[in-house]
Amino acid sequence: MATAVDKKEDLTTCSICFETFKKPKHFPCLHTFCEGCIQTYITKTFEQARGGVNCPLCRMFISKPGDIKVEEWSTKLPTNHILVSLIDLNETKSGQKLCAACSRENETESAFSWCANCSEALCKACDRSHRRNKASSNHKLIDLSEDFSKDIPLYHADVFCTEHPEKKVEAYCNDHSTVCCMTCVMLKHRKCDNVGSIEDAAEEKKKSKEIQEFSQNLQNLKASLEKLCKNRTESLKTFENDIKKMRADVETLFKQLSDHLNKLKTNITSEICKVEKVIKTEVESEHFEMKCRIPAVENDLSLFETNMKHAPPAQFIKAMENLEKQKEILENFVRDQSQNLREIKVTFKANEKLLELSRVIQECGEVKVSRANYVPQHSIITNVNMLTAVPTLTSKVETGFSVRGIALLDNGKVVLSNDNNKRIELRDPRYSMVLSSLSLPGDSWGIKMTSDTEGAVVVKGYGLVLFKIQNNNIVTIREMETDVNADFVYHQGLYYVGCDNKITVYDSNCRKVRDISVNNKVSYICLRGDNSLCYTAFNNFSVEKSLYCVHMDGSSVYTYSHDKLCDASGVTVDHSGHIYVCDYSYANTNVHQLSHDGKLLRIIFDNLPARPYCISFNTQGDKAVIGCNGTVLMYDMK
């Protein structure tokens, strides 16, 4: 196996085996690997519970298509034709390339030229035939003996229409910023004013300011990621130093405690030894005095017995007088000793504060981890001027169901409602991928994020389901049974829930705080500043054509109506306080942008390709996503 390459690695090198790609296949995140390498990786790391794997490079979760076996997944991944061509070019430049046409006939001929149209190397004979053949006479052939360093077109991979998968795309609609097949041109784009060739559109796009900005944005992203990596490296180094110091501090603390306790131990041990010596000397002295009297008593007893048996009367009388005196002396000694004798008992009473220390202090300290937000010196992300921002369609995803609620996250992913299957889905709209889903007890409608990772969804006829997003998984936090129609808004710990002729306010424990009386059945709702609400309404017998704004007590601030607002639907507000309302009618399919006081600024999205239910912006306002009837539309705002 080859060794790892440096930072300027060859695009044709697999990041798993570090060798030139063999059958390069790519994931939806566009990272490419050898077919064999990625299949081995898939087999080892496939998560049955989640139904997919994480990309080895970017860690993005890739869901397995349901109709493909795990052991065959890599064979069904798209081939990276650009890299196939690059590998061919590299081999051609190095003189290792053989004629492709001859190779198909199991013949071996060195390459002489390169056909830019066919992306194939040709020998001299095939080069001559290629030039003479009418079908290939206009192809661009490059002599390999000449300078081969200039850029040349790579492999021409066919691109097929999303609406008609069997047809190749052949035109570009500038009105809708999308490629299309000729069937789409005749059916869906016949009224469009600016439909042209894909080649012209690509050439114009390559020269556009947006492409330059895109390239610069990628450079900025790379620089920011490098700064973030540097920050993590420095942070880890600081953390390791902190851990090292912490361990040293703990050792110092316990050494100080140990030294102090050892000193206390030495002192009390010394005192015990002193007491032991004094008391032992005292008791031994008393014992000696008493023991010495025993022979005297024994001697007196012996004299008494001898005199009793053998002494003459006079001598006996005299001896008894002496023995009486001696007995009296001994009795006085025993009496004094008995009266003054003390039973000695030695005890140790520990210092109460020391005992309390052992009871109260159950730990020597606390290890705290503090986190502060990383603020780069020069952020690449700035809030967009929403008054001048021009939306550009970047993604159109056919869902097959109506999207009545949608929330755009700052990482580009969306949480949307699936009314067909009673669930919400976490999706990456750029790749049409469902990352995870959460089943609900009823039909899902309005969705709002209450923090970066937590949100709630309206379940019609049931209430709210609170959820959080962890590692691309949606999990339930808890459920709140409330009166609700279609939508809610969250503000300062309170849920403002749209109901029939009222907006009911609940706290985080699902306790009703108050009702705000209004004159309509509330449909979609958003917050206007801190002291007012905007909402649309619905009627069982007709469409509602207005946007209503009310104070927190229900009194009217204004009502917005317009000739091109025939079925007011989803509402939202951007970071600048501008209000947006969707027109779900067949007649208009647009989104109105209003000022804070309800004046029309512009119809910012017009003639949408599908009827819009709801709209959401990211924090900076540079991305917008619109949930429609069967479609999700993603826009860049610049």
Looking at residue 221, its pLDDT comes to 82
Q: Are 632 and 429 in contact (CB under 8 A)?
A: yes
> What's the token pair of residue 180?
């299309």
Instruction: Identify the bridge partners of residue 537 per DSSP, sorted by sequence position.
Output: 522
Question: Pairing mode, if any, of strands 488-491 and 512-528?
Answer: unpaired
Confidence of residue 617 (pLDDT cuts 50, 70, 90): very high
Q: Provide the 3-class DSSP secondary structure of residue 100.
A: helix
Lowest mean pLDDT among 90-94, 270-274, 533-537: 90-94
Looking at residue 2, its pLDDT comes to 41
Pairwise CA distance, residues 558 & 550, whole Å: 7
This prediction has a pTM of 0.48
Looking at residue 225, its pLDDT comes to 84
Give the CA distances from residue 627 to residues 344, 408, 526, 610, in Å, rounded to whole numbers and listed in that order.
94, 10, 16, 9
Pairwise CA distance, residues 170 & 550, whole Å: 51
Domain positions in the chain are: 214-337, 391-637
Confidence of residue 9 (pLDDT cuts 50, 70, 90): very low
Looking at residue 614, its pLDDT comes to 96
* Overall fold of domain 391-637: Neuraminidase (2.120.10)
Is pLDDT larger for residue 248 or for residue 486? 248
For the chain, give the number of residues. Answer: 638
Looking at residue 160, its pLDDT comes to 83
Q: Does 243 have pLDDT greater than 70?
A: yes
Closest CA to 416 of 630, 634, 633, 627: 627
Give the CA distances from residue 180 to residues 184, 402, 530, 635, in Å, rounded to whole numbers and listed in that order.
6, 23, 46, 19
Q: Are 627 and 199 in contact (CB under 8 A)?
A: no
Please work out, in degrees rounded to the nearest 5, the angle formed at the alpha carbon of residue 252 by the alpha carbons of 250 and 257.
95
Task: Extract long-range pairs of 532-538: CB within 8 Å, 24+ residues apart.
Answer: 532/557, 533/489, 533/496, 533/503, 534/571, 534/573, 534/579, 534/581, 535/487, 535/498, 535/503, 535/571, 536/568, 536/569, 536/570, 536/571, 536/581, 537/568, 538/485, 538/486
Q: Are 415 and 426 in contact (CB under 8 A)?
A: yes
Please work out, in degrees rounded to the nearest 5, the angle formed at the alpha carbon of residue 40 by the alpha carbons of 34 and 42.
100
Q: Does 601 have pLDDT greater than 70?
A: yes
pLDDT one-digit tens code per residue, 161-193: 878 888 889 999 988 888 999 999 998 888 888
Pairwise CA distance, residues 579 & 599, whole Å: 10
* Mean pLDDT of the region 284-306: 89
Q: Does 289 have pLDDT greater than 80?
A: yes
Q: Are 173 and 180 in contact (CB under 8 A)?
A: yes
Q: Are 622 and 598 in contact (CB under 8 A)?
A: no
Looking at residue 365, its pLDDT comes to 72
Q: Does 8 have pLDDT greater than 70?
A: no
Average pLDDT, whole number, for the chain? 86
End-to-end CA distance of the chain: 47
Q: Provide the 3-class DSSP secondary structure of residue 519.
A: strand
* Mean pLDDT of the region 328-349: 86
> What's the token pair of residue 596?
């804070």
* Mean pLDDT of the region 528-547: 83
Looking at residue 581, its pLDDT comes to 97
Instruction: Identify the bridge partners of residue 408 per DSSP, sorted by sequence position.
Output: 414
Looking at residue 449, its pLDDT comes to 93
Q: Does 130 have pLDDT greater than 90?
A: yes
Looking at residue 6, its pLDDT comes to 40
Confidence of residue 4 (pLDDT cuts 50, 70, 90): very low
- Write out the DSSP string of 277-295: HHHHHHHHHHHHHHHHHHH
Looking at residue 467, its pLDDT comes to 95
H or E stretch covering 231: helix 209-310
* Mean pLDDT of the region 126-147: 86
Pairwise CA distance, residues 328 & 337, whole Å: 14
Q: At 528, phi and psi to the nearest 5? A: -115, 95
* Mean pLDDT of the region 321-326: 89
Pairwise CA distance, residues 329 & 324, whole Å: 9
Percent of residues, the chain, with pLDDT higher than 90: 42
Q: Does 7 have pLDDT greater than 50?
A: no
Count each helix (H run) and each strand (E run) in the chain, helices first.
Answer: 10, 31
Give the CA distances from residue 139 to residues 89, 102, 484, in Å, rounded to whole numbers and listed in that order.
17, 19, 65
Lowest mean pLDDT among 37-51, 156-170, 446-460: 156-170
Confidence of residue 95 (pLDDT cuts 50, 70, 90): low
* Mean pLDDT of the region 248-268: 91
b/e 614-624 (16+ beta carbons within 10 angstroms → b): bbbbbeebbbb
Edge-to-edge strands of the sheet including 423-428? 406-408, 414-418, 423-428, 433-439
> What's the token pair of residue 515?
């009702």
